[in-house]
């Protein structure tokens, strides 16, 4: 396949519909955006793999949200891999790329280098948070960590919170293209049975009859997908849909581009510190007489004059990126 064709599908989410099955879905293919997200940190391989899985799930789910909305994924547990968090920012306008970011927190002394990342989260929860913008109450849905993968947790979330039959197939791995450096690639497919006409949101009936048969058949097709078909780069998303679902009359829509993007800023950091008193700020002040903060997502470093922070601030000033 020409390099231009591979690049065209990297870092995109392609929505589609299977007209003969009343099933909708998305195909995600991530490459450069993963490199930028993971390049901000120095995670062990199993942590990188779990963050990559969380990112591709977030991209698959986030494509459906409206302009300027935000979808976040949070995985928290009591194991050595404590937190994985992602944010998906929908485009500001039609035709613009969405932005995505992610980070993880872990205890390196407790991490088992031989165990998969999911097994090291321990007992905890998988949460999806939706921020619809100013004037709206954020929505959140939580499900326990179970099923052996983040994809299984996401399926449980949709079954319990949305009452919509949903399937995910996700693959992550390191690869090296001819003449290039080794890096992480990820891909995935999301399938979802469309609600029956007139069904109230969150009250979809259990599938039966022809609808159940269609859903079972489509899932059997999805189960035949191979890892290299998901992460590519030799199989384009449109070709993958034909391979898997040619009998279901797949119909594709405009792909959504993705890029790494962080929303941190000096003003947001200052706002987060506005709840503290001057005494609290004094405890945060370094020997150099400044208060510093680092963004967990992108690594941006902010330096503040303590007098400009907290609800007792005596003046205004600008944080400095270092």
Q: Does the bond joining 252 to the residue before it have cis omega, within 30 degrees of 0?
A: no
Phi–psi pair at 217, nearest 5 degrees: -65, -45
Each residue's pLDDT tens digit, 231-242 = 977 889 999 999
pLDDT of the residue at 180: 65
Q: Does 196 have pLDDT greater than 80?
A: no
Q: What percent of the chain has pLDDT over 70?
A: 89
pLDDT of the residue at 271: 87
pLDDT of the residue at 221: 96
DSSP 104-168: EEE-TTT--TTS-TGGGT-SEEEEEEEE--TTS--EEEEEES-SSSHHHHHHHHIIIII---EEE
Distances (CA, A) of 28 to 62, 219, 233, 303: 11, 17, 12, 38
Q: Does 4 have pLDDT greater than 50?
A: no
Mean pLDDT calculated for residue range 105-124: 94
CATH topology of domain 11-260: Hsp33 domain (3.55.30)
Q: Where are the domains of the chain?
A: 11-260, 266-321
Mean pLDDT calculated for residue range 89-110: 94
The chain-wide mean pLDDT, for the chain, equals 87
pLDDT of the residue at 318: 47
Confidence of residue 316 (pLDDT cuts 50, 70, 90): low
Confidence of residue 319 (pLDDT cuts 50, 70, 90): very low
| Percent of residues in the chain assigned helix, strand, coil, to nearest 5 | 30, 30, 40
Residues 174/183, Cβ–Cβ less than 8 Å: yes
pLDDT of the residue at 177: 64
| Per-residue three-class SS string for 296-308 | CCCCCEEEECHHH
Q: Does 3 have pLDDT greater than 50?
A: no
How many Å apart are CA 35 and CA 258, to the nearest integer? 13
Mean pLDDT calculated for residue range 194-217: 69
Confidence of residue 197 (pLDDT cuts 50, 70, 90): low
pLDDT of the residue at 124: 96
How many Å apart are CA 306 and CA 152, to the nearest integer? 46
Q: Whole-model pTM?
A: 0.87
| Lowest pLDDT segment from 3-12, 73-82, 89-98 | 3-12
Each residue's pLDDT tens digit, 26-54 = 999 999 999 999 988 889 999 999 999 99
In the block, residue with structure tokens 């191979």? 226
Q: Does 5 have pLDDT greater than 60?
A: no
Q: Write out the CATH class of domain 266-321.
A: alpha beta
């Amino acid at each position: 396949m020409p390099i231009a064709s591979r690049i065209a599908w990297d870092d995109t989410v392609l929505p589609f519909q299977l007209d003969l099955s009343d099933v909708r879905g998305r195909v995600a293919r991530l490459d450069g955006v993963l490199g930028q997200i993971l390049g901000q940190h120095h995670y062990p391989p199993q942590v990188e793999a779990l963050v990559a899985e969380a990112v591709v799930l977030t991209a698959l789910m986030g494509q459906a949200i409206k302009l300027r909305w935000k979808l976040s994924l949070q995985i928290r547990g009591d194991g050595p891999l404590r937190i994985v968090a992602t944010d998906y920012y929908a485009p500001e306008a039609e035709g613009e790329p969405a932005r995505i970011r992610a980070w993880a927190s872990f205890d390196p002394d407790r991490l088992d280098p031989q165990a998969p990342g999911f097994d090291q989260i321990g007992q905890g929860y998988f949460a999806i948070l939706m921020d619809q913008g100013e004037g709206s109450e954020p929505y959140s849905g939580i499900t326990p960590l179970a099923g052996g993968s983040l994809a299984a947790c996401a399926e449980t979330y949709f079954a319990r919170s949305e009452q919509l039959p949903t399937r995910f197939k996700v693959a992550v791995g390191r690869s090296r293209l001819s003449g290039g450096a080794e890096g992480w690639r990820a891909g995935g497919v999301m399938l979802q049975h469309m609600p029956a006409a007139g069904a109230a949101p969150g009250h979809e009936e259990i599938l039966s009859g022809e609808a159940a048969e269609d859903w079972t058949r489509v899932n059997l097709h999805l189960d035949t997908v191979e890892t290299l078909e998901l992460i590519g780069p030799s199989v384009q998303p449109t070709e993958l849909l034909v391979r898997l679902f040619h009998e279901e009359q797949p119909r594709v829509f405009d792909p959504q581009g993705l890029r790494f993007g962080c929303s941190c800023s000096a003003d947001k950091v200052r706002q987060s510190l506005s709840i503290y008193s001057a005494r609290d700020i004094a405890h945060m002040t370094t020997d150099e007489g400044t208060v510093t903060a680092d963004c967990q997502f992108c690594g941006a470093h902010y330096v503040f004059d303590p007098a400009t922070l907290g609800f007792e601030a005596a003046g205004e000033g600008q944080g400095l990126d270092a």
